[in-house]
Amino acid sequence: MSDKSKVVFVKDGHRTEVEVLMGTSMLHAATDNLVNGIIGECGGDLSCATCHVFVEPEWFDRLPSAESEELEMLEATAEEPTEFSRLSCQLSCVSETDGIVLHIPDSQ
């Protein structure tokens, strides 16, 4: 079993694949690899909503459910959230999400 996980970020049609250690937040997977559009102003403290992503539908059910604090923050995102919206600071890279595809909103 690998100790690394792959995350694919899509922004403006451009795909960026990164590989990070298991347990890394998807926010840090993006910011540590300079992925355009994921800002994470709060550093992952669930207080800014600048790490909003749209999870590709086939991956969504593999994620843990959003807690109430995340759902509240999703109401403050720059782009209208959808049923597949999540904050990448609340998602961890684990074996079930290896290869996950996350779309970054145009407004970020």
pLDDT tens across the length of the chain (108 residues): 689 999 999 999 999 999 999 999 999 999 999 999 999 999 999 999 999 999 999 999 999 999 999 999 999 999 999 999 999 999 999 999 999 999 999 988
CATH of residue 77: 3.10.20.30
Structure tokens at 57: 């539908």
Residue type, 103: H
Burial of 98 (0-12, 13-18, 19+ CB in 10 A): middle
As for how many domains the chain has, the answer is 1
Say if 66 falls within a structural domain.
yes
Structure tokens at 25: 């937040």
Say if 80 falls within a structural domain.
yes
In this prediction, residue 53 carries a pLDDT of 98
For residue 82, give its domain range.
4-103
Say if 108 falls within a structural domain.
no
Beta-strand (E) ranges in the chain? 4-11, 14-21, 52-55, 85-87, 100-103
Helices and strands (H, E) in the chain, number of each type: 3, 5
